Amino acid sequence: MSEDSLIYKDPQRSSLERAVDLLKRMDIDEKISQLVSRLHDRYFDPSCFDKVAGDTMKYGLGTISWQLPSLEPEENVKVMNKIQKYAVEKTRLGIPVLFHGEALAGGLFFGATYFPTAIGLASTWDPEIIHDMAGLVSRQMNEYGVRLVFSPVLDVSRDPRWGRIGETYGEDPYLISQIGKAFISGMQGNDLRNATAATGKHFLGYAAGEGGRNKAPLNIGKRELYEIYARPFEAAVCEAGVKVIMNSYGIIDNVPVPGSREILTGLLKEKLGFEGLVVSDYWSVKQLISTNRTAVDEEDAAIQAITAGIDRAASA
């Protein structure tokens, strides 16, 4: 079959048509590979690139986490192009890799323009300037080759003992909603072909862990959970059209969020109507084994996460 007859490679077809056609052609290994993400650093050594790529990209690869790579932008882009060339030319289906990175207040790579941290951005009380800032960051990330950022943080943070307050927009659900919407609309623009997808995180209640501890259980009722902690995410989904949501490491009703169908499907996808991509926070699926101890092995953890509503891992 000639490439001209492959619907999934035809840019004139709709995204849905292309996705349906591609799924019909994929075997189980190729589908699983699209759920996986890898850290960028394994691909930097040219002496072993082919072996690393062969080991990790034999059936394709979903995403690569481009976290503060060690080279200058021009050299980093060469590595990214090399990875992309391998994915397109040396795998059976030629599915490109999606590069994602961090951009809370600027792209996380050398040479990027950086702004005040998130809590400082929120203290401006100026959504318009946040929108403009996010637009600049989006253009830089897009030109760099990163098409998805794990920002903004939409956690309502009311306990000063919690160590990640600086990444948040503070304690007021309304302010967080307005700043979050401005960031998302600036980042995603009017056409994602020329912009960068945003990720609302961490769903849900991450900053409300007992005792201000990270990854701790939440001892709050559902009404407070929905009306306070879910409010910025509702704004992000229903008003700003955020494309991606990331789960929390937290525990709600004794169920770790990465394995909670009630939270990730019942609340996020059904009640809020989110239709985008749900990604796991780094290693949160593996932590169902090591920390939460609800899974006996990696296969069990993956089944729990996918059943709960996670669509793709952030790192493996």
For the segment 211-231, what is each residue's pLDDT rounded down to a tens digit?
Answer: 999 999 999 999 999 999 999
Is-contact 228 156, C-beta < 8 A?
yes
Cα torsion for 165, 170, 173, 178, to the nearest 10°?
Answer: -120
Q: In the chain, what's the furthest Cα-to-Cα distance?
A: 61
Q: 3 falls in which pLDDT band (50, 70, 90)?
A: low
Is-contact 30 93, C-beta < 8 A?
yes
Is-contact 1 277, C-beta < 8 A?
no
Residue 195: predicted pLDDT: 95
Give me the mean pLDDT over the 13-22 stretch.
95
Cα–Cα distances (Å) from 124 to 106, 165, 231, 244, 295, in that order, read 17, 16, 20, 26, 44
- What distance in Å separates the CA atoms of residue 115 and residue 134, rounded to the nearest whole number? 10
Give the domain CATH number at 193. Answer: 3.20.20.300
Cα–Cα distances (Å) from 222 to 121, 122, 225, 274, in that order, read 29, 26, 5, 19
Q: Which residues contact 108 (CB under 8 A, 6 or more apart)?
A: 67, 68, 101, 102
Residue 209: predicted pLDDT: 94
In a domain? residue 212 = yes
- Domain residues for 176? 105-316
Is-contact 107 115, C-beta < 8 A?
no
Give me the mean pLDDT over the 144-169 stretch.
96
In the chain, the amino acid numbered 217 is P
Phi-psi category of residue 241: left, alpha or beta, with phi > 0 → left and psi -120 to 50 → alpha: left
Residue 279: predicted pLDDT: 96
- What distance in Å separates the CA atoms of residue 11 and residue 251, rounded to the nearest whole number? 42
For the segment 37-96, what is each residue's pLDDT rounded down to a tens digit?
Answer: 999 998 998 999 999 999 999 999 999 999 888 888 899 999 999 999 999 999 999 999
In a domain? residue 270 = yes
Q: How many Å separate Cα 95 from the centre of its chain?
A: 19
Is-contact 60 25, C-beta < 8 A?
no
Element (H, E) at 174: helix 173-188
Q: What's the half-sphere exposure (Cβ side, CA atoms, 13 Å) at 153? A: 25
Residue 5: predicted pLDDT: 78
In the chain, the amino acid numbered 216 is A
- What distance in Å separates the CA atoms of residue 15 and residue 3, rounded to the nearest whole number? 17
Residue 69: predicted pLDDT: 85
Q: 1 falls in which pLDDT band (50, 70, 90)?
A: low
Domain count of the fold of the chain: 1
**pLDDT above 70 as % of the chain:** 98
Beta bridge partners of 99: 64
For the segment 84-128, what is each residue's pLDDT rounded down to a tens digit?
Answer: 999 999 999 999 999 999 999 999 988 899 999 999 999 999 999
- What distance in Å separates the CA atoms of residue 182 and residue 129, rounded to the nearest whole number? 8
Residue 171: predicted pLDDT: 97
Mean of all residue pLDDT scores within the chain: 94
Residue 315: predicted pLDDT: 61
Give me the mean pLDDT over the 128-147 stretch.
95
Q: How many CB atoms lie within 10 A of CB 120?
A: 12
Q: Which of 166, 248, 250, 233 is nearest to 198 (CA)?
A: 233
Residue 2: predicted pLDDT: 56
**pLDDT above 90 as % of the chain:** 91
In a domain? residue 293 = yes
Tokens for 286? 């593996």
